[in-house]
Amino acid sequence: MGQINVENPFIFEALQWFSKKTKDIFLLLDKKGIIKYANSAFETCIQIPNSDIENSLLFDFIHPDDVKNTVEKLLFMNPDQQFIPFTSRLKQKNGTYSSILWTSCEYTEEGSIKLICHPLKDIIDSRDSISIGWRSTFFDLTDTAADIVDVDGKVILVNRAFEELYGWTQDELTGKRLPIVPQHLEFEFQNVMQRLLQGEKLIKLQTVRQRRDGTLIPINLMITPVYNETCEISALLGVTENISELMEYKMLVKLQNETLEAEERLLLDITKNISEVICLFDIKKDKFLYVSPSIEKSWGIKLEDIYENPLCFEDKFDTDASNNLIEIFRSTSGISQALEFNLTDKDSGQTRWIRAEITPITDKDGTVTRHISIFKDVTELKEKTNQIKQLDQLGVIGQLAAGIAHEIRNPLTSIKGFVQLLAEETNHQFGEIITSEIERIEFIMNEFLILAKPQREIVFKKENVNTVVQEVISFMRPEAVLNNVEFVTKFNSFPFVNCEAKQIKQVIINLIKNAIEAMPRGGKLHIHTLSTEEGFVMIKVRDEGIGISKEHLQRLSEPFFTNKEKGTGLGLMISNKIIEDHKGSIEFFSELGKGTTVEIRLPLATDIGK
């Protein structure tokens, strides 16, 4: 057989002596599995002289059913991983097979393979008196816990790594069933035996075993059968890999993944059901990594569009903040920012106010790589803020109105009487002008008094909105005819509301007057009543007039705001207060050159006040 190349003759002689005396089999293979060296233990095991073994393929001596596994384990072992002992059946000269335990496999720099294995027959036969000589070889060559049990599950052998891992010694375990198997997992042995008897050569399990102190540890368990000369299973080899640290890591990863998944699901549920838009922007990729689905409902932008093109909302909205917003996303500044801007839909013309909070995300080096941002639609909040301001203004106006009514109205009545007497005596041409202006002052005072009138003085009655509107139309028809305005009406059959009819009439009169003034060349004035699904009666007044600009439309409900030359701005303010007192709403829709539509919503009538 091949010679061991050792320069020192004493070392060479010692190795030759050891290789002859030991029961362990030493083999040296080339890359293809050709035997280049085998000690006398191999010759003894297979009962074939060395001259017939030299340059033979090792796998010609392996049982055909074990060849595939043996080739994978010996020729294609990962050098970075620890070698795991396993068994194979070795063919003897008489045609029978004996089991061997492969305990060590290493690759040389030249690509040769160094192997150590041991005949398992010696182990089975030495159940009652373990040979310390070969035991030490087997135990010391692997750090992996291993055990051999017979077909009844009784211990034949355990190695030192097994003793260190589980806490029981060989002497305590020999001839007894393994105490490392928890009671609730005792069924595993029968399942393993059944699978081995069905022909499986290697069984892998991830399970749990018990130490002597009672603690449970997760393990990877590999089990291979040990065969006797007649190819019957005589024992089982079990190799234990303690994966506590790995499982802890995996459990941590799993827990983190589950937490992330739960957080992602929670985040997804949240982002699907809130109006806020949440975005994650990657600076290097210059794209959004995540945009909450709420953007589709809130902003009317498809998710795939914004993922594909971060600037797509520039095509959707008119806003000065678009470019600035993207530049903020692209900024590498580590300072959180907050800004407020408006978005005007180019198609619908609807304007909404957005408040954004943008927070930078840094890597381990402190470099800003991403931004997470939350966009909140604050249009309603702004409207409510404006309403509060208007209510505050109305409150002040109401207090002023009460004072003005008492302090001015009485002397104004006296002035009006003396002017009328003076006009009769002097027949002066300015008498009528003075009287008309005083009457205008009285009219304004009356409107102030409406603002100052407490809500508790309103007496609600069940009224038919159609009747109220028709009475107003009849009253206003002469003025409409003079201005070449035609009424176009459409009435629902049952729009009843609880209201103060005189006040609702005043609101409708104000709206009709405004509509007539908005159509100096005449036109059609559409007045409809209908019931809504939300439980309201709607009065819709639509003219074909000059319309209102967006800037003025937003200011219509402000006190004293008017776009009329001689207007006071009190008409719409009073109308707003009346409708508010009736628990309703009033909305204006307009565009320059395309007329104005006003929608009044009042709650459907209940039995209260009937």
Whole-Å CA distances, 60 to 2, 72, 166, 199, 553: 19, 15, 38, 21, 96
Is residue 247, in this structure, part of any structural domain at all? no
pLDDT of 610: 42
Average pLDDT over residues 140-148: 76
Q: Is the pLDDT of residue 7 over 60?
A: no
Q: Which residues contact 576 (CB under 8 A, 6 or more apart)?
A: 390, 557, 586
Whole-Å CA distances, 597 to 34, 168, 492, 546, 555: 96, 91, 18, 12, 16
pLDDT of 608: 45
583: left (phi over 0), alpha (psi -120 to 50) or beta: left
The predicted-structure confidence for 377-401, as pLDDT tens digits, reads as follows: 888 777 777 666 666 665 666 666 6
The predicted-structure confidence for 484-536, as pLDDT tens digits, reads as follows: 999 999 988 767 888 888 888 888 988 998 899 888 888 999 999 988 888 88
Could you tell me if 419 and 507 lie in one domain?
no
Residue predicted with more confidence, 39 or 446: 39
Could you tell me if 289 and 438 lie in one domain?
no
Q: Is the pLDDT of residue 540 over 60?
A: yes
Is residue 260, in this structure, part of any structural domain at all? no
Residue 338 CB-density burial (10 A; 0-12 exposed, 13-18 middle, 19+ buried):
exposed
pLDDT of 597: 92
pLDDT band with cut points at 50, 70 and 90 for residue 11: low
Could you tell me if 30 and 65 lie in one domain?
yes
The predicted-structure confidence for 146-178, as pLDDT tens digits, reads as follows: 888 988 888 888 888 899 999 999 889 988 999
Q: Is the pLDDT of residue 122 over 70?
A: no
Which of 431, 452, 473 is the endpoint of a domain? 452
Contact 118/24 with Cβ under 8 angstroms? yes
Q: Compute the distance between CA of residue 278 and CA of residue 376 in angstroms, rounded to an integer.
A: 9
Could you tell me if 224 and 323 lie in one domain?
no
Can you spell out the DSSP letters for 93-125?
Answer: TTS-EEEEEEEEEEE-TTS-EEEEEEEHHHHHH
State the total domains in the chain. Answer: 4
Whole-Å CA distances, 420 to 377, 408, 412, 433, 441: 59, 18, 12, 11, 16
The predicted-structure confidence for 73-91, as pLDDT tens digits, reads as follows: 898 888 777 787 888 888 8
Least confident of 59-68, 125-134, 315-324: 125-134
Q: How many other CB atoms are found less than 10 A from the CB of residue 198?
A: 7
Residue predicted with more confidence, 392 or 432: 432
Residue predicted with more confidence, 242 or 128: 242
Q: Compute the distance between CA of residue 475 and CA of residue 477 in angstroms, rounded to an integer.
A: 6
Mean of all residue pLDDT scores within the chain: 79
Tracing tokens 């399970």 back to the chain, one arrives at 207
Strand order in the sheet with 203-210: 155-158, 145-150, 233-242, 216-227, 203-210
Tell me, what CATH number does 386's domain have? 1.10.287
The predicted-structure confidence for 18-56, as pLDDT tens digits, reads as follows: 667 677 888 999 988 999 888 888 888 888 887 788 889
Least confident of 13-22, 85-94, 290-299, 358-367: 13-22
Whole-Å CA distances, 24 to 97, 118, 137: 17, 5, 8
Average pLDDT over residues 256-281: 75
Q: Which residues contact 92 (CB under 8 A, 6 or more apart)?
A: 45, 46, 47, 48, 98, 229
Could you tell me if 189 and 160 lie in one domain?
yes
Tell me the angle at which helices 570-581 and 501-517 cross, rounded to the nearest 10 degrees: 150
Which of 452, 475, 497 is the endpoint of a domain? 452
Q: Compute the distance between CA of residue 50 and CA of residue 41 in angstroms, rounded to an integer.
A: 10
- When mean pLDDT is compared over 182-196, 345-359, 435-449, the highest value belongs to 182-196
Is residue 319, in this structure, part of any structural domain at all? yes
Could you tell me if 101 and 222 lie in one domain?
yes
Average pLDDT over residues 399-409: 62
Which of 358, 377, 396 is the endpoint of a domain? 377
Average pLDDT over residues 265-278: 73
Could you tell me if 182 and 286 lie in one domain?
no
Tell me, what CATH number does 541's domain have? 3.30.565.10
Contact 39/63 with Cβ under 8 angstroms? no
What percentage of the chain reaches a pLDDT higher than 70?
78
Is residue 325, in this structure, part of any structural domain at all? yes
**Residue 472's closest CA among 511, 439, 441, 434?**
511
Contact 354/262 with Cβ under 8 angstroms? no
Is residue 263, in this structure, part of any structural domain at all? no
pTM of the model: 0.36
pLDDT of 133: 41
Q: Compute the distance between CA of residue 181 and CA of residue 168 in angstroms, rounded to an integer.
A: 13
pLDDT band with cut points at 50, 70 and 90 for residue 59: very high
Residue predicted with more confidence, 392 or 590: 590
> The domain containing residue 396 runs over which residues?
382-452
Could you tell me if 36 and 83 lie in one domain?
yes
Is residue 256, in this structure, part of any structural domain at all? no
Could you tell me if 93 and 218 lie in one domain?
yes
442: left (phi over 0), alpha (psi -120 to 50) or beta: alpha
Could you tell me if 564 and 469 lie in one domain?
yes
Q: Is the pLDDT of residue 1 over 70?
A: no
pLDDT band with cut points at 50, 70 and 90 for residue 2: very low
Is residue 4, in this structure, part of any structural domain at all? no
Q: In this structure, are strands 277-282 and 368-377 parallel, antiparallel, or unpaired?
A: antiparallel
Give percent helix, percent strand, percent coil of the chain, each to the nearest 5: 40, 30, 30
pLDDT band with cut points at 50, 70 and 90 for residue 179: very high
Token digits for 480? Answer: 């409409």
Could you tell me if 471 and 448 lie in one domain?
no
Could you tell me if 218 and 361 lie in one domain?
no
Is residue 566, in this structure, part of any structural domain at all? yes
The number of C-alpha atoms within 13 Å of 535 and in the hemisphere containing its C-beta is 5
Least confident of 65-69, 339-343, 411-415: 411-415
- Mapping DSSP to helix (H, G, I), strand (E, B) and coil, where does residue 540 land? strand
Q: Compute the distance between CA of residue 331 and CA of residue 51 in angstroms, rounded to an integer.
A: 78
